[in-house]
Amino acid sequence: MNPKRSKFPVTRVKKPEPSKDSPDWVIWAAWADRITFEEIRKITGLSEGQVIDRMRKALKPSSFRLWRKRANTQSLKHRKLFRHRREEL
């Protein structure tokens, strides 16, 4: 029998958060629904347009279109919209 190493289960994620210094963090944050463009700007200094340009260069065309549709419709990528929808609940 193998004894357990810890009392707590290990949570494994497919795509862990990259370090904030790496260029991959911007892509990861842009895909995350709860991280707004304002937060990305505060951490990296990149504007919304610069994030969009970086996503356009990093993703395949079909993935970029999917991300833009998601960021424009169902995602809460702007702080004002995020607050407005939270107040509705």
How many CA atoms within 13 Å lie on the side-chain side of 1?
A: 2
Structural domain includes residue 19: no
Q: What is the mean predicted confidence (pLDDT) over 23-34?
A: 88
Q: 32 falls in which pLDDT band (50, 70, 90)?
A: confident
Residue 85: pLDDT band with limits 50, 70, 90: low
Can you give the residue range of the structural domain that contains 46?
24-88
Measured in degrees and rounded to the nearest 5, phi and psi for residue 68 equal -60, -45
Answer for the pair 26, 20: CB distance below 8 angstroms, yes or no: no
Q: What is the mean pLDDT of the chain?
A: 81
Which run of H or of E encompasses 7?
Answer: none
For the chain, percent of residues with pLDDT exceeding 70: 69
Residue 9 maps to a domain:
no
Please give the structure tokens belonging to residue 48.
């919304």
Express each pLDDT in 37-47 by its tens digit: 889 999 999 99
In a domain, 29, yes or no: yes
- The full DSSP string for 59-78 is S-HHHHHHHHHHHHTT---S
